[in-house]
Amino acid sequence: MRILLVGAGGVGDAIARIAARRDFYELIVVSDYDAGRAERTVAWIANRHGSTVAARFIAAQIDAGDAASVAALARDHQITHVMNAVEPKFVPTIFDGAFAAKAHYLDMAMSLSAPHPDEPYAKTGIKLGDYQFEKAGEWETAGLLALVGMGVEPGLSDIFARYACDHLFDTVDELGTRDGANLVVRDSDGNEIFAPSFSIWTTIEECLNPPVIYDKDHAESWFTTPPFSEPEVFDFPGGIGPVECVHVEHEEVLLMPRWLDAKRVTFKYGLGAEFIGILQTLHLLKLDAVQPIRVRSANGPVEVSPRDVVAAALPDPATLGPQMTGKTCAGMWVTGTKDGQARQVYLYHVSDNEWTMKEYGCQCVVWQTALNPVIALELLADETWSGAGVLGPEAFDAVPFLDLMKADDSAGGYDQPWSLREEIPT
Q: Where are the domains of the chain?
A: 2-151+368-411, 156-367+419-423
2-151+368-411 CATH pick, 3.30.2420.10, 3.40.50.720, 3.30.70.360, 3.30.230.10: 3.40.50.720
CB 105, CB 387: distance < 8 Å:
no
Per-residue pLDDT at 150: 98
- Taking the C-alpha atoms of residue 151 and residue 153, their distance in angstroms, rounded to an integer, is 6
**End-to-end Cα separation, the chain, in angstroms:** 48
- Taking the C-alpha atoms of residue 6 and residue 83, their distance in angstroms, rounded to an integer, is 6
Whether omega for the bond prior to residue 417 falls within 30 degrees of 0, making it cis, is no
Q: Which positions ≥6 away from 373 have C-beta within 8 Å?
A: 15, 83, 85, 106, 108, 150, 151, 155
CA atoms within 13 A on the CB side of 33: 10
The hierarchical CATH code for the domain 156-367+419-423 is 3.30.360.10
Strands (E), 159-275: 171-181, 184-185, 212-215, 222-224, 232-236, 241-247, 264-269
How far are the Cα atoms of 154, 161, 184, 334, 372 from residue 349, in angstroms, in the given order? 13, 13, 19, 15, 11
Per-residue pLDDT at 426: 67
- Taking the C-alpha atoms of residue 327 and residue 349, their distance in angstroms, rounded to an integer, is 10
CB 226, CB 121: distance < 8 Å:
yes
**pTM (2 d.p.):** 0.93
- Taking the C-alpha atoms of residue 111 and residue 129, their distance in angstroms, rounded to an integer, is 5
Per-residue pLDDT at 311: 86
**Each residue's pLDDT tens digit in the chain (426 positions)?**
999 999 999 999 999 999 999 999 999 999 999 999 999 999 999 999 999 999 999 999 999 999 999 999 999 999 999 999 999 999 999 999 999 999 999 999 999 999 999 999 999 999 999 999 999 999 999 999 999 999 999 999 999 999 999 999 999 999 999 999 998 888 888 888 777 777 787 888 888 899 999 999 998 899 999 999 999 999 999 999 999 999 999 999 999 999 999 999 999 999 878 888 888 898 898 988 888 999 887 888 888 898 888 888 887 777 777 888 999 999 999 999 999 999 999 999 999 999 999 999 999 999 999 999 999 999 999 999 999 999 999 999 999 999 999 999 999 999 999 999 998 776
- Taking the C-alpha atoms of residue 17 and residue 13, their distance in angstroms, rounded to an integer, is 6
- Taking the C-alpha atoms of residue 348 and residue 157, their distance in angstroms, rounded to an integer, is 8
Q: Which of 146, 47, 31 is nearest to 86 (CA)?
A: 31
CB 282, CB 248: distance < 8 Å:
no
Q: Is 94 left (phi over 0), alpha (psi -120 to 50) or beta?
A: alpha
CB 157, CB 394: distance < 8 Å:
no
Beta-carbon neighbour count of residue 100 at 10 Å? 15
